[in-house]
Amino acid sequence: MSTVLVVDDQPINRVVITRLLRSLHLDVIEACDGQQGLQQYLQHGRSTIVCVLLDLMMPVLDGFNAAVSMRSAESQHGWLPVPIVAFTSEDVRHGSPTWHQCMRSGFNDIVPKPMDKQHATQLLFRWLPGLRERQADSSSSGGSDNNTVLRSCSEAGCSKHSQGIGSEDECAPRRSVGRGSSSSSSVCSG
């Protein structure tokens, strides 16, 4: 099974992204900041983690420095580079200062928040060979809604989870098995 590392300091963003990825039959490992994301990447390795979705602005270690550290670790361990995708509400237009900083830091792609499921699926098809075939197989057996929207914490009403996206329980640390064989784990506290 393919595992995506999701690194974001906002619990609601992790919940929504994890749900989207699990609907695509991907396993998910969550981390709350760049340092935890780097630790998870080093612990699980390139053979497990096939893609990293990394927020840019986080406490402890931001996404830029986390990406640089991941690239350094890959070089030290002789790992093939993992696709690292910036997932951010920052200005990420091609040529913007944030875009240039992402490229210098080792990101492969940048995606603005919010993002719908169709856009997310296209992005993952680009970076995860074989996912398109798995999706075609699952679509023939009754696929899921393509209109799920990934929203930032403030847009989703994180404090009360008012959009029906998640519950308080989903923001706590967890190791759970999802539908089918997809699973998620989190090293985040509360």
* pLDDT, tens digit (0-9, with 9 covering 90-100), for 118-177: 888 888 889 987 777 766 665 555 544 433 333 333 333 333 223 333 333 333 333 333
* CB 99, CB 110: distance < 8 Å: yes
76 is written with which tokens?
């030290």
Query: What's the mean pLDDT when you consider all of the chain?
Result: 76
Q: What is the residue-wise DSSP string for the chain?
A: --EEEEE-S-HHHHHHHHHHHHHTT-EEEEESSHHHHHHHHHHH-TTTEEEEEE-SS-SSS-HHHHHHHHHHHHHHHTPPPPPEEEEESS---TTSHHHHHHHHHT-SEEEESSEEHHHHHHHHHHHSTTHHHHHHHHHTTT---TT-EE--HHHHTTTTTTTSS--GGGGS--EEE-STT-EEEE----
* pLDDT for position 6: 96
Confidence of residue 10 (pLDDT cuts 50, 70, 90): very high
CB 24 within 8 A of CB 1: no
CATH topology of domain 3-186: Rossmann fold (3.40.50)
Exposure class string for 126-150: b at 16+ Cβ within 10 A, else e: ebbeebeeebeeeeeeeeeeeebbb
Q: pTM here?
A: 0.74
How far from chain centre, in Å, is Cα 81? 16
Residue 122 or 83, more confident: 83
Please give the average per-residue pLDDT across 77-82, as a whole number.
95
